[in-house]
Amino acid sequence: MTFPFWVAGKPVTAGATAPVQHPYDGSPAGSHFVPSPSDLDAAVQAAADVADEFATLPAHVRAGALDHVSRSLGERSEEFAALITAESGKPLKWARGEVGRAVSTFRWAAEEARRFSGELQRLDTDPGGTGRLALVRRVPRGPVLGITPFNFPLNLVAHKVAPAIAVGAPIVLKPAPATPLTALLLGEILAGADLPPGSWSILPVDNEMSSKLVEDPRLPVVSFTGSVPVGWAIRDRVPRKHVALELGGNAAVLVCPDWTDLDYAAQRIATFAMYQAGQSCISVQRVYAHDSVFDALASKVVSQVHALRTGDPRADGVDVGPLINVDAASRVSSWISSAVSAGGRLLTGGSQSGATVEPTVLADVPEDVSVMAEEVFGPVVSLVRVSSVADGVARVNASKFGLQAGVFTRDVPTAFEVSAALRVGGVIVGDVPSFRADQMPYGGVKDSGVGREGPAAAMADFTEERVTVLTGLTL
C-alpha cells in the first residue's frame, strides 16, 4: 500500500514515492508519497492562517476531536499494531501495548482540554490593587513543528499531536523517515475529526527538508524527540524559538542492600533492558547493585534474559526483535566488543545476525566505555558492583544524561534520600526506569533535554501566559 501524506488535513497522492522495509527481513512494509517543497510551504502557511481560529475553537470541539481519535484508535488497534511491527520491527506484543498507550494519551489530552481554564488572582493584597482581579490564561505560542523518532511511531506522535490539538495550536508533524507509515495512517483518523483545515499536517520528509521547517519563522515552537546531537543543533540554530527536547539517556537502576525480592528485580531488569531490542530512551542500560546482592542478582538476570524469545517480531510470543537496521545492529555489536576488550565480562549474548543483536549482559565494564557512557539503544545491559548506596548514586549521577532512574528499595527514608540526590527527570522506586505513565510529566536534565512531555505538561510548553486585569470590582 502507498500511503498519502497530509497537507492541511487533506490527503495528497502525487509526486515521487518512497519505500519502507521491514527491519527483520527487508520485506516491504509499504510506501508513501513524498512531499515537495511547495507541499511543505502549503502546510506551514495553512497552519499560520488558521492559528487564530484554532486558538479560539471551543474546548468541547477540541476535546471531542481527541475523543474521536482515542476511540477510533481503539477500534483499529490490531491494524495499527501490525503496521508498527511491519515498519519498526517492534515485536507484536509491544506494538499492541504502544497502541493502547496512544489510546490513553489522546484520552488524557481530551480530558485536559476540558479543564484547561487558567486561574484567578485577587490583586487587592496591596493597596494599589484594590478592586482589581487578574485572569491568568494560557494561550498558544503559535503553530508547532513536531519531530518524532522511529522507536515509538504512534505514541510519540500522539505526545506531539494530542497536546497541540488540546490547546488549539496547529501542528505540522514530521515523522521519522524509517517509520512514517503509522503516522500517515493516523492521518485517516484525524481527517474524521471535527477540526478546521490547516490545524494539522503530516509530512514524511528527509532530514534535509526538515531543516527548512525548523528554520521557518511561521513555526515558532519546535518539539523534538530524538538524538542528542540533532536536538541541541536544532536549539542552537533557532535560539529565538521555543524549543522542547527529549533526547534520550542511558537509564540506570540502583539495587539497594535492603531489597530482598531479587527474582522480581531480575525479571524487570531483563525485560526492560531488552524490550524493543533496547530501543527506548528509558530501557535499562546500567545496573548498580550492592555487594551483598550483586552475585545473586547477576545470576538471576542472566537466567531471565535466557528466557526471552528472540525472532520474527510478527510472531506471537516473541520478546526481542531486530534493531531498526543493520547499521544500528553493527554499531551495537562493535560497542559490545569494545566493552569486552576494555575488561568487561560477557555473561551472555553478544552475537549479531543481520539487524538482530542477541540480548547481551555484561559485567565489570569500565565507566568510560561506550556501553556505559553513551546511549546504547540496543539490547545490552551492564551490571556493576557498588559498595554503598551513596556509591551507586554517585555513579548514576556521573552520566552526562539524566532522564529516569530506577531504585529498588523498600526503605522509605532511603527512597526519599536517593530521589532527592539523583539528577534525573524521574525516579521510579521499586521498579526499573522504563516505567512511564503517559499522563505524568516526562523528560530529563543535562543531555537528556529540556521541557516535559505528557498531555498537561506539553500543553503548558506549547502555550504562554496572558493576563487580563479587571478593574473596579467588589471582591
- The whole-number pLDDT of residue 229 equals 95
- The whole-number pLDDT of residue 410 equals 97
Tell me: do 238 and 274 sit in the same domain: no
Count of structural domains, the chain: 2
Tell me: do 275 and 126 sit in the same domain: no
Q: Which residue reads 501566559 in cell numbers?
A: 465
Pairwise CA distance, residues 91 & 322, whole Å: 9
103: domain CATH number is 3.40.605.10
For 285, the grid coordinates are 542500560
Tell me: do 270 and 193 sit in the same domain: no
Tell me: do 13 and 129 sit in the same domain: yes
Helix, strand or coil, per DSSP, at residue 369: coil
Pairwise CA distance, residues 365 & 314, whole Å: 34
Give which of 4, 159, 167, 24 is closest to 87, Cα–Cα.
24
Neighbouring CB atoms inside 10 A of 256's CB total 22
Tell me: do 70 and 100 sit in the same domain: yes
Q: Which residue reads 506494538 in cell numbers?
A: 95
Helix, strand or coil, per DSSP, at residue 363: strand
Pairwise CA distance, residues 443 & 450, whole Å: 7
Pairwise CA distance, residues 374 & 357, whole Å: 18
Tell me: do 225 and 315 sit in the same domain: no
For 126, the grid coordinates are 496591596
DSSP, residue by residue, 381-435:
EEEEEESSHHHHHHHHHTSSEESEEEEE---HHHHHHHHHH--SSEEEETS-TT-
Tell me: do 212 and 286 sit in the same domain: no
381: domain CATH number is 3.40.309.10
Judge whether 474 lies within some domain: no
Judge whether 306 lies within some domain: yes
Judge whether 442 lies within some domain: no
Pairwise CA distance, residues 100 & 438, whole Å: 11
Judge whether 475 lies within some domain: no
Residue from 98, 112, 246, 358 carrying the catalytic annotation: 246
Tell me: do 211 and 188 sit in the same domain: yes
Judge whether 267 lies within some domain: yes
Q: Which residue reads 539524566 in cell numbers?
A: 402
Pairwise CA distance, residues 404 & 283, whole Å: 10
Burial of 38 (0-12, 13-18, 19+ CB in 10 A): exposed
Pairwise CA distance, residues 270 & 265, whole Å: 9
- The whole-number pLDDT of residue 207 equals 84
- CB of 170 closer than 8 Å to CB of 196: no
Give which of 12, 50, 42 is closest to 164, Cα–Cα.
50
Judge whether 452 lies within some domain: yes
Helix, strand or coil, per DSSP, at residue 235: helix
Q: What domain range includes position 171? A: 2-247+448-468
**For residues 157-194, b (16+ Cβ closer than 10 Å) or e, as one string?**
bbbbbbbbbbbbbbbbbbbbebbbbbbbbbbebbeebe
- CB of 166 closer than 8 Å to CB of 439: no
Give which of 114, 137, 117, 19 is closest to 67, Cα–Cα.
114
Instruction: Indicate if 246 belongs to the active site.
Output: yes
CA-based angle 430:431:436, to the nearest 5? 125
- In the chain, the amino acid numbered 368 is D
Tell me: do 363 and 294 sit in the same domain: yes
Tell me: do 243 and 264 sit in the same domain: no
Tell me: do 226 and 300 sit in the same domain: no
Judge whether 200 lies within some domain: yes
DSSP, residue by residue, 31-65:
EEE---HHHHHHHHHHHHHHHHHHHTS-HHHHHHH
Tell me: do 103 and 145 sit in the same domain: yes
Report residues of the chain scoring pLDDT below 50: none
Judge whether 443 lies within some domain: no
- The whole-number pLDDT of residue 7 equals 98
